Chains A and B, each alone.
Chain A
Amino acid sequence: MVSPLLILAAGLGAAFLLGLLRDSSERMAFYLTVIALGFMSFVGLSWTVSLALGEAQPVEIYTAGARPPFAINLRMGLPEAALTSVVTLTGLLSAVFMRRDLMRLGRRAMAVLMVLIMALSGLIMTRDLFNLFVFIELIVIASAGLVLLSQDTRALGAGFKYLIVSQVISILLLVGVIFTYHANGSLNIDDIAATPMGFTGASLAIFLVLIALVLELKPFPANGWALDIYEAAHPGFSALFSAASGSAALFAVLKLFEAAGPDWAPLATGIGLVTFVGANILALAQDHDRRLLGYSSVGQIGLVLMVVGYGYDWDAGLYYVAGGLLISHAIAKAGLFWLSGLVKARKLSDWAALRQNPALVVAFATFIAMLTGLPPFPAFYAKWTLVHAMADYGDYPLIAIFLIAALIEAAVLFRWFGMAIKREAIRPLAYNLSHETVVLIAMTAGWALSFVWGAISGLDNLVTLVPLLFALLFLPLDILPARIKNVIAIAGLVLWFFLSKDGLDPLRLIFLTIMVLGGALLLLASFHAKGRRMGFYTPAMLMFAGMALLVTAETSFQFFAAWEFLTVGSYFLILRGHDSEPHALSYITFSLGGAFALLAGFAVASEGQFVIPLANLSEVAPEIAPYVFVLLAIGFLTKTAIMGLHIWLPGAHAEAETDVSPMVSGILLKAGLFGLFVLLMEMGRQELYGVDLTVLLVWLGAISAFIGAVLAAFQEDAKRLLAYSSISQMGYAVFGLALMNHLGWLLAMMFAINHFVYKSMLFLAVGGVKERTHTKLMYKMGGLITLMPYSFVSVLVGIIAMSGVPPLSGFGGRWIFYNAIMSTDLRLPMILIFMAGPVGFLYLFRLIHTIFLGQPKDELRKVKEAPFWIILPQMIFVAFLIAFAALPGMVLQRVDGYIGTLFGDRPLVWTGRIIDSQYGTWNPVAIWGVIIVVFVTVLLLLVWMNHNAQHVKQFNIVFSAERPFKPQTTHFAWNFFAPYRKAMGFLEMPVSTSFWTGVSNALHGTAEFSRKFYTGNGQTYAVQLMLFVVAVYLISMGASS
């Protein structure tokens, strides 16, 4: 092995060599820089690989031929090797990225860069406190020099402020070093560790050292000086500053906190947490991309600092968690800063320019997913482990604060991503092959490390999951025409269904059928799309992958990872809609909030394990079980959009594309329902403060069923109407589940199947109409029945089925419902359900009347029937609905039997085609028989009497002896239920929306207020820094006494 010392030697040597070159030979200087950085990276990487594979042992390097404390020693273990690799590789890539500016400024700038990378590597490896100080001084000076690379005039001011504050920090550090030496007699970190000073008389010494190092991490709120650098410096340098300097400084902090002993660990935890929360809240108010990245860097480093303090005694676990977070931060942040170099303008929305190059959009998405801790990236494993450890220690408030801050961070980042996808760029991409290559290398590194982290996690290696790989396969395939990709996608889904269906219980089998085969069926509608339809199939398949994995998940980890996959996939899908930017953001924010509740729930339930089989949820200790129940239920109810957590749904479902709406409504909502099934199956009834939580669920379901229906009746937008209707329908299903009896569950199952069928069908029909009329506003339509007869039929069948009118399958749901409520003691919630039923008629009639009946509009007289591929799945659904209504037993009988094994009863008797309960009978074939015979007889009678009726033209109506001539004034459609609104309009009060808007405004307000501290004045920043130090000192001393 090459001596690690060569990293330092190569850096210094190259810097000196650069000094010997002529000013005019910039090209040679640059190559020398790159070669030296390449060599340094090689050394770092070779050590990392050898140490990781166990082929090499950690080494201690003694300088000057003497042992410490008489000389300095350096260490090369796995963490050091990994971090020097990060630093040197970032240096190398940034050098390539900054090539033009480095060449412009010449060899001196390159020498400064070499010194910076060398010093950062030294900072990582050294075990001597004074040496550490020296390296920090070198880093400060080199950083200040490199800031000037930027052509931004503010860089000069930023560099100067940085120098001022850094000197204050250096003084603190130096004083601390002197005191420490005085107290300890050695500056070797390991010697200090041997006799930790704790809160003894010499506490000030170690405090000064620690706080100085922490200040290097730019903790909130004493970090204004650093943010100006991020904003003004060259993006190549900002990448270094964030990824390399941040990581190195963090490792220095880690070394010193380890040495200082456990007494000081809460200091790191506290400052880290405050920084993570504060930085993310402040990031909310940013619309300058690099400043936002600056805040995000501060936040991420704060998070790792928190982990350093919190997990000081975890040994390898600490490195796994902190390393996962740090490596995700380093790659993503460097990648984003490099990307920002390709974007010419500095507003967040200007990142829309990236759309010119799909590979860069994928890179952007990858970096954001890495920062947010989404699977399969290292931060995901880290976050999972961290929250489980926190739960094990019983630090529940800490989990809450951490997850809320993480959610704010996700919201900030996804808002940005949404802008990049939906807005228009004012300036084109600054295209540059080497810049793009650097970005793509970072992205590849991110995926590669996902594999590494998965492999060493001891959990499932997510990046190797077949469904995920199948989804990713569509990234390279995106150049193919959409139709070919559609065939592949459908084939994949069908194949996966047959591969995974064996061994599932009937309940799971039905969910798998809806989610995977149903997905394949809905994808038929996607044949309608023309061209390539870039960026559709990867998210769609990611969503379906998540759902397929969810149903077959056996452990909490598999379940959660699948949940995140389907959430992210559906977010990207929803974002594709024309006006869906704010709605997609609201969707992902609520969904991730729900997901974090799940994470917390699983963590609390795991009781010291890092993963539990889902079946073990039934064995959670009774004193924590209700809390687990609440957390998991919140997660699932967010997905089913229970009233209060529903505000994301109408926009997300209504603004999605024609074939996406049925996927996210008909299929995706079932994921929440499936979760509730699992939850109730495993945990059963739980009581919290004497309240039976399932009763609470019954109420929530009933309220959703009712209010959802009322709100649906007041919509003018057809897709929004359907979206609110979904809230109502899911309310019924939640209600049924929470009844906790056999028939209640069967009811929920019936709703799951029915809702999938008729909501998919209706969304497709309405989507097809929108394709032709280019509007979703129902009052702008009318009289389309003759122009779009197939769409009309599918809406007609859909609304009859949904309203529960016999003979279609909705009636079966109602019949089971009545039988279910006969066997429960709950009475009052039924009132809401009884009210919800007829209100359903309001919105259903409105849907069909205002679109298809009434007066056709002049501009829509020539619209054609919806495209064939959109009609085809609808007709399949129509056939299914009719078959299912006549023969419900083909699906329900097995499920009924299975639910019977869970509850140990058999309330339904299936005799042939007749279903009997203790209370009544349901004979679907007879119902069909009677209705068809009567209907046909009456029809024949009418035809006999009235076969010669003359078909009249529009407006030939009895209209007070006048003839109306404007469809707009004759088509009664807008505000259709005005009288109902007069009576029940108070239910429309946007209580939930106001609440969540208030939460959002409060956060933004806090951010705006806190921004006032960042005056841009270097002296103010220095004073703030000192005040921060004093405050932290007083708090920590106060806390320890």
Chain B
Amino acid sequence: MTAFPNFEWVQIAYALLTLFIVINYGMVMTAVVRKIGARVGGRYGIPVWQNYVDLLKNIALRSKISHGVMYYLGPVFRLTGGVGLLMFVPTIYGSEWHQNFSYAGDLILALYFVFFGTLGMALGAGESGHPHSAIGVSRGLAQVTMAELPLALGVYALSLQYGTLDITKIVAAQQGSIFNWTLFTNPLATVAAMVAFVGTMMRSPFDVAMAPQEIPIGPPTEYHSSYLALMQTNRVLFPVAKTVIYMNLFFGGATSWAEFAIKVFCLYMISVVIGVVHPRFRVEQSIRFFLKWGLPLGVLAILTV
């Protein structure tokens, strides 16, 4: 087991615990966010347990169809992407329980593994043969090419700043005071990365890939029943896992689950708040947006570090 240093079976249990907490947190948090959105809009909104109901409903659905092997595997790729991402990143700094399997790699692993689920799901959606799926994928991929750019530059700036690609070391360097956070030590990199964050959270103005009005729900159009259940699980898990990376890199990480819950919620709300007050961009508009705002910020970040 040379590839798994200090491996103990209990790590699996710890990892499952992390997963359990994060999924449930995600379930509740996303529902709460929707509820807040509804109340702001003067509606009553959903109950906070609505996500659980939806999940059970989908699993219980009796009509199940398949368009082929890749279609079948799409949600598996998707959820593996979300779970894997969480597993490759330490969740709670200083906690032995929630380091997960972060020794498998570093920041680069996390950054590239983000695409694992996206790619797999896009392939699955492709096999369904629904044009809306393909249109959604085309838009999503086109947009993400530029949306990820500020993040890449921000991360480059920050790893130069800390001289490491190790997430734990980056979090460690931010401990001690709130002013040790990258947000304050390297605001340019943080802002650049947050542009990418907002750009990839699938919320308005950058949600043209899903575009509920024009191409009903985009890539997942053909997914239903347990497929959709897996994807729903991922939809609450993945944004949290991704937010954890941002939290670790730019906002000092979290030393406890409480800190985790607050920070993730606050970060998540950034994209929500921006989303509710902005109309949707077309793909070329968002690409231009990232080129005009994200890119210069990122360039400044890597030049000034």
Contact = CB atoms under 8 A, between A and B. Distances in A.
Interface stretch (B42-50, B148-156, B183-191, B271-279): B148-156
Interface string B104-144: 11111100110110010011001111110011011101111
A841 B148 CA distance: 12
Nearest to B115: A805
Contacts of B69: 785
A645 to B, nearest CB: 26
Nearest to A939: B76
Contacts of B79: 938
Contact of A980 (B119, B126, B145): B145
A814 B222 contact: no
A950 B105 contact: no
Contacts of B226: 942, 945-946
A796 B116 CA distance: 12
A927 B107 CA distance: 13
Given A785-B127, A814-B108, A957-B222, A845 B141 contact: yes
Given A938-B83, A949-B65, A835 B75 contact: no
Given A796-B123, A805-B113, A842-B141, A949 B287 contact: no
B152 A979 contact: no
A995 interface: no
Interface stretch (B30-38, B247-255, B295-303): B295-303
A853 interface: yes
Interface string B60-83: 000011111110110111011001
Interface in A936-953: 938-939, 941-942, 945-946, 948-952
Interface in A801-820: 803-806, 811, 814-815, 818-819
Contacts of B238: none
A938 B80 contact: yes
Nearest to A957: B130
A852 to B, nearest CB: 8
A151 B109 CA distance: 78
A956 B88 CA distance: 39
Contacts of A931: 80, 84, 116
Interface stretch (B21-29, B160-168, B173-181, B256-264): B160-168
Nearest to B303: A827
A931 B87 CA distance: 9
Contact of B122 (A786, A849, A935, A957): A849
Contacts of B108: 814-815, 818, 920
A583 interface: no
A841 B282 contact: no
Contact of A939 (B73, B165, B221): B73
B283 interface: yes
Nearest to B208: A979
A926 B99 CA distance: 14
B283 A849 contact: no
Contact of B299 (A831, A838, A954): A831
Interface in A917-938: 917-927, 929-931, 934-935, 938
B3 interface: yes
Interface stretch (A325-333, A456-464, A588-596, A907-915): A907-915
A932 to B, nearest CB: 9
A979 B138 contact: yes
B135 A972 contact: yes
B127 A853 contact: yes
B84 to A, nearest CB: 5
Contact of B283 (A941, A948, A979): A979
B3 to A, nearest CB: 3
A848 B70 CA distance: 12
B287 A984 contact: yes
A451 B291 CA distance: 62
A437 to B, nearest CB: 62
A925 B87 CA distance: 15
B106 A925 contact: no
Given A831-B299, A923-B103, A945-B229, A914 B3 contact: yes
A950 B224 CA distance: 13
A919 B103 CA distance: 13
A806 B3 contact: no
Given A842-B142, A983-B283, A834 B149 contact: yes
A958 interface: yes
A853 B165 contact: no
Q: Which of A785, A828, A946, A950 has the most CB of B within 10 A?
A: A946
A827 B123 contact: no
Interface in B199-226: 216, 221-222, 225-226
Q: Which of B135, B142, B282 has the most CB of A within 10 A?
A: B142
B39 interface: no
Contacts of A938: 75-76, 79-80, 83, 230
B101 interface: yes
A949 B64 contact: yes
Contacts of B229: 945
Q: Which of B225, B227, B284 has the most CB of A within 10 A?
A: B284
B88 A854 contact: no
Contact of A853 (B123, B138, B143, B216): B123
Interface residues of B, number: 85
B284 A982 contact: yes
Contact of A946 (B148, B149, B163, B227): B227
B200 to A, nearest CB: 11
A922 to B, nearest CB: 6
Nearest to B230: A942
A919 B65 contact: no
Contacts of A792: 70
B123 A848 contact: yes
B137 A834 contact: no
Contacts of B4: 925-926, 929
B57 interface: no
Contacts of B105: 806, 815, 920-923, 926-927
A804 B302 contact: no
B149 A983 contact: no
A822 interface: yes
Interface in A946-981: 946, 948-952, 954-959, 970-973, 976-980
A919 B122 contact: no
A525 B131 CA distance: 35
A837 interface: yes
A976 B109 CA distance: 29
B252 to A, nearest CB: 20
A945 B59 contact: yes
Interface in A835-883: 835, 837-839, 841-842, 845, 848-849, 853-855
B2 A811 contact: no
B138 A972 contact: yes
A679 B143 CA distance: 40
Given A854-B134, A984-B287, A951 B153 contact: no
Q: Which of A783, A839, A849, A913 has the most CB of B within 10 A?
A: A849
A849 B152 contact: no
B283 to A, nearest CB: 3
A800 interface: yes
Given A849-B137, A922-B105, A948-B64, 20 more contacts: A785-B70, A792-B70, A806-B113, A818-B159, A818-B165, A828-B303, A837-B148, A845-B119, A854-B129, A912-B2, A919-B164, A927-B109, A930-B88, A945-B225, A952-B66, A957-B129, A971-B131, A972-B131, A972-B134, A980-B142
15 contacts: A805-B115, A806-B105, A827-B302, A837-B148, A838-B146, A853-B127, A911-B2, A921-B103, A922-B109, A934-B87, A951-B65, A951-B67, A952-B67, A958-B130, A977-B138
Interface of B: 2-5, 59, 64-70, 72-73, 75-77, 79-80, 83-84, 87-88, 101, 103-109, 112-113, 115-116, 119, 122-123, 126-131, 134-135, 137-139, 141-146, 148-149, 152-153, 156, 159-160, 163-166, 216, 221-222, 225-227, 229-230, 282-284, 287-288, 291, 295, 298-299, 302-303
Smallest CB-CB A-B distances: 3 pairs: A853-B126, A920-B106, A925-B3
